[in-house]
Protein backbone atom coordinates (compact mmCIF):
# COMPACT_ATOMS: atom_id res chain seq x y z
CA UNK A 1 0.00 0.00 0.00
CA UNK A 2 1.28 3.50 -0.81
CA UNK A 3 0.77 6.60 1.30
CA UNK A 4 1.90 10.17 0.65
CA UNK A 5 3.15 12.17 3.60
CA UNK A 6 3.23 15.95 3.66
CA UNK A 7 1.14 19.09 3.68
CA UNK A 8 -0.56 20.60 0.63
CA UNK A 9 0.98 24.00 1.50
CA UNK A 10 4.27 22.62 0.13
CA UNK A 11 4.65 23.12 -3.65
CA UNK A 12 6.60 19.85 -3.79
CA UNK A 13 3.74 17.94 -2.17
CA UNK A 14 1.29 19.73 -4.49
CA UNK A 15 3.47 18.70 -7.46
CA UNK A 16 3.03 15.02 -6.61
CA UNK A 17 -0.69 15.41 -5.88
CA UNK A 18 -1.24 17.16 -9.22
CA UNK A 19 0.73 14.52 -11.07
CA UNK A 20 -1.16 11.66 -9.36
CA UNK A 21 -4.50 13.33 -10.19
CA UNK A 22 -3.47 13.81 -13.83
CA UNK A 23 -2.72 10.08 -13.93
CA UNK A 24 -6.04 9.29 -12.30
CA UNK A 25 -4.30 7.81 -9.26
CA UNK A 26 -5.95 8.31 -5.91
CA UNK A 27 -3.18 9.32 -3.49
CA UNK A 28 -4.64 10.81 -0.33
CA UNK A 29 -2.32 12.85 1.88
CA UNK A 30 -1.63 11.09 5.14
CA UNK A 31 -0.28 12.51 8.37
CA UNK A 32 3.37 11.47 8.60
CA UNK A 33 4.63 9.23 11.37
CA UNK A 34 5.69 11.53 14.20
CA UNK A 35 2.81 13.95 13.41
CA UNK A 36 2.42 16.84 10.98
CA UNK A 37 5.27 18.81 12.56
CA UNK A 38 7.38 15.69 12.78
CA UNK A 39 9.32 15.55 9.51
CA UNK A 40 12.49 15.58 11.60
CA UNK A 41 11.24 12.77 13.86
CA UNK A 42 13.33 9.56 13.94
CA UNK A 43 10.38 7.65 12.40
CA UNK A 44 10.14 10.07 9.47
CA UNK A 45 13.91 10.32 8.96
CA UNK A 46 14.02 6.53 8.59
CA UNK A 47 11.76 6.95 5.55
CA UNK A 48 13.36 10.12 4.20
CA UNK A 49 16.82 10.96 5.54
CA UNK A 50 16.56 14.51 4.13
CA UNK A 51 13.66 15.22 6.49
CA UNK A 52 11.64 17.02 3.83
CA UNK A 53 8.15 16.62 2.46
CA UNK A 54 6.83 14.85 0.46
CA UNK A 55 7.70 11.25 1.24
CA UNK A 56 6.00 8.28 -0.36
CA UNK A 57 5.61 5.33 1.98
CA UNK A 58 5.60 2.06 0.04
CA UNK A 59 4.78 -0.69 2.52
CA UNK A 60 7.08 0.93 5.07
CA UNK A 61 9.86 1.83 2.58
CA UNK A 62 10.28 5.55 2.02
CA UNK A 63 10.89 7.45 -1.22
CA UNK A 64 11.79 11.14 -1.02
CA UNK A 65 12.00 13.91 -3.64
CA UNK A 66 8.86 14.94 -5.47
CA UNK A 67 9.97 14.20 -9.05
CA UNK A 68 11.37 10.79 -8.05
CA UNK A 69 8.02 9.98 -6.47
CA UNK A 70 6.32 10.97 -9.76
CA UNK A 71 8.72 8.65 -11.65
CA UNK A 72 7.84 5.86 -9.24
CA UNK A 73 4.12 6.43 -9.84
CA UNK A 74 4.85 6.05 -13.57
CA UNK A 75 6.61 2.76 -12.91
CA UNK A 76 3.76 1.30 -10.90
CA UNK A 77 0.95 2.80 -13.00
CA UNK A 78 2.50 2.74 -16.49
CA UNK A 79 -0.80 2.71 -18.37
CA UNK A 80 -2.16 5.96 -16.92
CA UNK A 81 0.41 8.34 -18.37
CA UNK A 82 0.79 12.01 -17.57
CA UNK A 83 3.97 12.32 -19.64
CA UNK A 84 4.46 13.20 -23.31
CA UNK A 85 4.39 10.16 -25.59
CA UNK A 86 7.73 10.75 -27.33
CA UNK A 87 11.19 10.52 -25.71
CA UNK A 88 12.19 14.08 -26.58
CA UNK A 89 8.97 15.45 -25.11
CA UNK A 90 9.47 13.37 -21.97
CA UNK A 91 13.01 14.68 -21.60
CA UNK A 92 11.79 18.25 -22.03
CA UNK A 93 9.08 17.82 -19.43
CA UNK A 94 11.59 16.38 -16.93
CA UNK A 95 14.03 19.15 -17.81
CA UNK A 96 11.48 21.82 -16.90
CA UNK A 97 11.02 20.15 -13.50
CA UNK A 98 14.82 19.95 -13.08
CA UNK A 99 15.29 23.62 -13.94
CA UNK A 100 12.61 24.48 -11.38
CA UNK A 101 14.51 22.48 -8.75
CA UNK A 102 18.06 23.56 -9.60
CA UNK A 103 17.74 27.10 -10.93
CA UNK A 104 14.41 28.59 -9.87
CA UNK A 105 13.15 27.43 -6.47
CA UNK A 106 16.32 28.33 -4.55
CA UNK A 107 15.72 32.04 -5.20
CA UNK A 108 12.36 32.09 -3.40
CA UNK A 109 14.12 31.79 -0.01
CA UNK A 110 15.91 35.16 -0.20
CA UNK A 111 12.58 36.89 -0.94
CA UNK A 112 11.07 35.10 2.00
CA UNK A 113 13.82 36.35 4.28
CA UNK A 114 13.24 39.95 3.21
CA UNK A 115 9.47 40.18 3.49
CA UNK A 116 9.60 43.10 5.89
CA UNK A 117 10.33 46.35 3.93
CA UNK A 118 11.95 47.86 7.02
CA UNK A 119 14.59 45.13 7.27
CA UNK A 120 14.88 44.48 3.55
CA UNK A 121 18.21 44.08 1.78
CA UNK A 122 17.14 45.41 -1.62
CA UNK A 123 20.32 44.16 -3.31
CA UNK A 124 19.53 40.58 -2.22
CA UNK A 125 15.96 40.94 -3.48
CA UNK A 126 17.12 42.33 -6.83
CA UNK A 127 19.66 39.52 -7.22
CA UNK A 128 17.00 36.87 -6.49
CA UNK A 129 14.59 38.49 -8.97
CA UNK A 130 17.27 38.54 -11.67
CA UNK A 131 18.10 34.85 -11.10
CA UNK A 132 14.42 33.93 -11.23
CA UNK A 133 13.98 35.79 -14.51
CA UNK A 134 16.98 33.90 -15.88
CA UNK A 135 15.52 30.54 -14.81
CA UNK A 136 12.15 31.37 -16.44
CA UNK A 137 14.13 32.21 -19.57
CA UNK A 138 15.76 28.74 -19.52
CA UNK A 139 12.34 27.15 -19.09
CA UNK A 140 10.80 29.16 -21.89
CA UNK A 141 13.53 27.91 -24.21
CA UNK A 142 12.92 24.28 -23.20
CA UNK A 143 9.14 24.44 -23.72
CA UNK A 144 7.69 23.40 -27.06
CA UNK A 145 4.79 25.18 -28.79
CA UNK A 146 2.41 24.02 -26.05
CA UNK A 147 0.25 25.47 -24.75
CA UNK A 148 1.45 23.37 -21.80
CA UNK A 149 5.18 22.97 -21.14
CA UNK A 150 5.26 20.18 -23.69
CA UNK A 151 2.24 19.64 -25.89
CA UNK A 152 -1.47 19.97 -25.40
CA UNK A 153 -1.79 18.30 -21.99
CA UNK A 154 -0.16 18.92 -18.63
CA UNK A 155 2.79 16.70 -17.69
CA UNK A 156 5.46 16.59 -14.97
CA UNK A 157 6.99 19.94 -15.97
CA UNK A 158 3.64 21.67 -15.56
CA UNK A 159 3.16 20.15 -12.11
CA UNK A 160 6.57 21.42 -10.99
CA UNK A 161 6.41 24.82 -12.65
CA UNK A 162 2.72 25.44 -11.91
CA UNK A 163 2.98 24.96 -8.15
CA UNK A 164 6.27 26.87 -7.91
CA UNK A 165 4.94 29.75 -10.00
CA UNK A 166 1.92 29.95 -7.71
CA UNK A 167 4.28 30.25 -4.71
CA UNK A 168 6.33 32.93 -6.47
CA UNK A 169 3.18 34.93 -7.25
CA UNK A 170 2.07 34.76 -3.63
CA UNK A 171 5.46 35.61 -2.13
CA UNK A 172 6.03 38.51 -4.55
CA UNK A 173 2.55 39.89 -3.79
CA UNK A 174 2.85 39.43 -0.01
CA UNK A 175 6.22 41.17 0.13
CA UNK A 176 5.09 43.90 -2.25
CA UNK A 177 8.51 43.59 -3.85
CA UNK A 178 7.55 45.26 -7.11
CA UNK A 179 8.99 42.33 -9.05
CA UNK A 180 7.39 41.94 -12.49
CA UNK A 181 5.25 38.84 -12.95
CA UNK A 182 7.65 36.40 -14.66
CA UNK A 183 4.84 34.71 -16.58
CA UNK A 184 3.05 37.86 -17.73
CA UNK A 185 3.94 37.71 -21.39
CA UNK A 186 4.87 35.57 -24.38
CA UNK A 187 5.07 31.78 -24.25
CA UNK A 188 5.08 31.74 -20.43
CA UNK A 189 1.80 33.69 -20.33
CA UNK A 190 0.24 31.21 -22.78
CA UNK A 191 1.48 28.40 -20.54
CA UNK A 192 0.12 29.94 -17.32
CA UNK A 193 -3.29 30.53 -18.95
CA UNK A 194 -3.41 26.88 -20.02
CA UNK A 195 -2.53 25.69 -16.50
CA UNK A 196 -5.15 27.93 -14.92
CA UNK A 197 -7.74 26.73 -17.42
CA UNK A 198 -7.09 23.05 -16.75
CA UNK A 199 -9.52 21.63 -14.21
CA UNK A 200 -7.08 19.38 -12.35
CA UNK A 201 -4.14 21.80 -12.41
CA UNK A 202 -6.34 24.71 -11.31
CA UNK A 203 -7.98 22.79 -8.48
CA UNK A 204 -4.69 21.52 -7.02
CA UNK A 205 -3.11 24.99 -7.31
CA UNK A 206 -6.16 26.50 -5.60
CA UNK A 207 -5.97 24.08 -2.69
CA UNK A 208 -2.20 24.53 -2.44
CA UNK A 209 -2.28 28.34 -2.65
CA UNK A 210 -5.00 28.59 0.00
CA UNK A 211 -2.85 26.51 2.37
CA UNK A 212 0.32 28.39 1.42
CA UNK A 213 -1.48 31.70 1.95
CA UNK A 214 -2.29 30.56 5.48
CA UNK A 215 1.38 29.73 6.01
CA UNK A 216 2.41 33.20 4.75
CA UNK A 217 -0.06 34.86 7.15
CA UNK A 218 1.31 32.80 10.01
CA UNK A 219 4.86 33.87 9.11
CA UNK A 220 3.78 37.52 8.88
CA UNK A 221 2.34 37.18 12.37
CA UNK A 222 5.75 36.01 13.58
CA UNK A 223 4.59 32.43 14.10
CA UNK A 224 6.23 29.29 12.85
N1 LIG B 1 13.74 18.68 -3.56
C2 LIG B 1 12.69 18.35 -2.63
C3 LIG B 1 12.29 19.60 -1.88
C4 LIG B 1 11.30 19.30 -0.76
C5 LIG B 1 11.23 20.49 0.21
O6 LIG B 1 12.11 21.35 0.25
N7 LIG B 1 10.16 20.49 1.01
C8 LIG B 1 10.05 21.52 2.03
C9 LIG B 1 8.61 22.00 2.13
S10 LIG B 1 8.18 23.02 0.77
C11 LIG B 1 10.42 20.92 3.36
O12 LIG B 1 10.08 19.81 3.67
N13 LIG B 1 11.13 21.71 4.17
C14 LIG B 1 11.48 21.33 5.50
C15 LIG B 1 12.92 21.44 5.75
O16 LIG B 1 13.70 21.67 4.83
O17 LIG B 1 13.28 21.29 6.93
C18 LIG B 1 11.51 17.71 -3.38
O19 LIG B 1 11.40 17.90 -4.60
O20 LIG B 1 10.74 16.96 -2.76
- Give residue 62's region: left, alpha or beta (phi > 0; psi -120 to 50): beta
- 26 shares its domain with 133: no
pLDDT digits (tens, 9 = 90+) for 61-112: 999 999 999 999 999 999 999 999 999 999 999 999 999 999 999 999 999 8
Task: Give domain status of residue 82, yes or no.
Answer: no
What pLDDT, on a 0 to 100 scale, did the predictor assign at position 37?
63
Shortest-distance Cα residue to atom 17 of ligand 1: 52
Alpha carbon separation from 68 to 19, 71, 86, 152, 190 (Å, rounded): 12, 5, 20, 23, 28
- What is the pTM assigned to this prediction? 0.96
Q: Which residues contact 95 (CB under 8 A, 6 or more apart)?
A: 142, 157
- 63 shares its domain with 124: no
CATH number for the domain spanning 91: value is 1.20.1050.10
- 43 shares its domain with 145: no
Ligand 1 binding pocket (C-beta < 6 A) is: 10-12, 39, 51-54, 65-66, 101
Mean pLDDT of the chain: 95
CATH number for the domain spanning 63: value is 3.40.30.10
Nearest-atom number in ligand 1 for the CA of 52 is: 12
Most ligand 1 atoms within 8 A of CB, residue of 17, 48, 52, 163 to mutate: 52
pLDDT digits (tens, 9 = 90+) for 135-190: 999 999 999 999 999 999 999 999 999 999 999 999 999 999 999 999 999 999 99
Count of domains observed in the chain: 2
- 97 shares its domain with 169: yes
Amino acid sequence: MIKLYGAIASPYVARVLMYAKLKGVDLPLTEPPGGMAGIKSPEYLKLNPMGKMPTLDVDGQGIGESSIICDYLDDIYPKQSAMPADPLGRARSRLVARIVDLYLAQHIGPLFRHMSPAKRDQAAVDAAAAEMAKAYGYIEQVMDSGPFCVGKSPTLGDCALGTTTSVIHQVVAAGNFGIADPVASGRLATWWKAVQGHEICASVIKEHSTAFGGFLKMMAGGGR
